[in-house]
């Protein structure tokens, strides 16, 4: 009888997972009043992925986004960005890597001019003035707002404000853009312009939204959250064909 060596019968090794830009393992969080918000969220996002985050109000989507750059959570949070835990030492780096864009751009824009808003982050990174201006000019060009440098942010339309808010994080050379309800409040033209912008951006995207048509049109992967948990995570086309799954979690087929 021939001798069978163990290595000949061993199962083939699984291919290695791609490197994770974000990795979360069993994240739990309750607000100070004791209200639980995240009940064991685990996920990983690879560089270059475009991921939609959907679910009903109160599902925990915004709370999750706020953990990504340390606004919520603490140094013991089971979260890694480019392998870095959110310790006090690492937070400046993580906040440069993760660009968080709020639903209301007025929460993000506070300077007298557009240029000052977009330059604020790079300036406080200690970069030279020439580099700050280069980054600001590039970011404004990326969002189609070149020429608006001296405009007053509060005089702009909401669609223009949202693009400026995205420019503020692009100027930081963020690897991941985490956007909360980017199309909320936009008219059809503003929505289309924002969709075209998001489609063209090369950065990794994690976008919390109720706009299921946006999800269908841009994002290959969708994560559904409900009750502080991830209830589904997979190919967008497959999930959107499951009308029962969507209905069970307060979502509509686009």
**Residues in a beta bridge with 29:** 38
103 within domain boundaries: yes
Residues in the chain with pLDDT < 70? 1-18
Distances, alpha carbon 37 to alpha carbons 32, 233, 253, in Å: 11, 19, 26
Residues 145, 227: Cα–Cα separation, whole Å: 38
Q: Say which residues have a Cβ less than 8 Å from residue 43's Cβ, sequence separation at least 6.
A: 22, 23, 24, 223, 230, 233
> How many domains does the chain fold into?
1
Place of tokens 């996002």: 45
CATH of the domain at 72: 3.40.50.300
pLDDT of 246 reads: 96
Predicted local distance difference test score (pLDDT) of residue 19: 74
- Number of residues written out for the chain: 254
Strand order in the sheet with 50-54: 98-101, 176-180, 204-208, 50-54, 221-226, 229-235
For tokens 């603490």, name the residue. 74
Residue 117 in contact with residue 152, Cβ under 8 Å?
A: no
DSSP 8-state code for residue 176: E
Q: Which domain holds residue 96?
A: 48-248
Q: Residue 223 in 3-state DSSP?
A: strand
- For 66-90, what is each residue's pLDDT tens digit? 999 899 998 899 999 999 999 999 9
Is 33 part of a structural domain of the chain? no
CA distances to 29, 73, 125, 144 from 88, rounded to whole Å, are 19, 11, 16, 35
Q: Is the pTM here over 0.85, yes or no?
A: yes
Q: Tell whether 111 is covered by a domain.
A: yes
For residue 20, tell me if it sits in a domain.
no
- Domain membership of residue 237 (yes or no) is yes
For residue 193, being part of any structural domain is answered with yes
188 occurs within a structural domain? yes
16 belongs to a structural domain: no
**Gap between the Cα atoms of 53 and 254, Å rounded:** 15
Q: What is the pLDDT of residues 14-34, one digit of tens each?
A: 555 557 999 999 999 999 999
Contact 18, 43 (CB under 8 A): no
Provide CB contacts within 8 A for 119, sequence distance 6+: 132, 133, 135, 136, 171
Tokens representing 146? 């070149």
Which segments of 69-113 does DSSP mark as H helices, in order? 91-97
The bridge status of strand 98-101 relative to strand 221-226 is unpaired
3-state secondary structure of 8: helix
Report how far apart, in Å, the C-alpha atoms of 4 and of each of 10, 11, 12, 13 are.
Answer: 11, 14, 16, 19
pLDDT for 17: 54
pLDDT at 12: 47
Residue 215 corresponds to which tokens in the numbers above?
Answer: 């999800």
């Amino acid at each position: 009888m021939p001798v069978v060596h163990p290595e000949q019968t061993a199962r083939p090794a699984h291919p290695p997972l791609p490197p994770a830009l974000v990795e979360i393992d069993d994240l739990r969080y309750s607000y100070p009043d004791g209200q639980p918000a995240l009940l064991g969220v685990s996920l990983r996002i690879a560089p270059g992925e475009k991921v939609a985050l959907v679910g009903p109000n109160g599902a925990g989507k915004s709370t999750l986004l706020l953990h990504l750059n340390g606004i919520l959570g603490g140094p013991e949070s089971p979260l890694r960005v480019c392998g870095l835990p959110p310790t006090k030492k690492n937070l400046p780096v993580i906040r440069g890597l993760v660009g968080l864009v709020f639903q209301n751009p007025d929460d993000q824009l506070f300077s007298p001019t557009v240029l000052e808003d977009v330059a604020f982050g790079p300036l406080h990174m200690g970069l030279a003035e020439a580099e700050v201006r280069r980054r600001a000019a590039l970011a404004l060009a990326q969002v189609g707002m070149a020429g608006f440098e001296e405009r007053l942010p509060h005089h702009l339309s909401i669609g223009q404000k949202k693009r400026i808010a995205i420019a503020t994080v692009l100027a930081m050379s963020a690897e991941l853009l985490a956007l909360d309800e980017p199309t909320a409040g936009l008219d059809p033209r503003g929505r289309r312009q924002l969709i075209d912008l998001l489609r063209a951006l090369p950065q990794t995207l994690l976008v919390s939204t109720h706009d299921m048509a946006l999800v269908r049109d841009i994002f290959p992967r969708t994560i559904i959250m409900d009750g502080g948990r991830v209830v589904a995570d997979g190919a967008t086309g497959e999930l959107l064909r499951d009308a029962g799954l969507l209905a069970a979690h307060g979502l509509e087929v686009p």
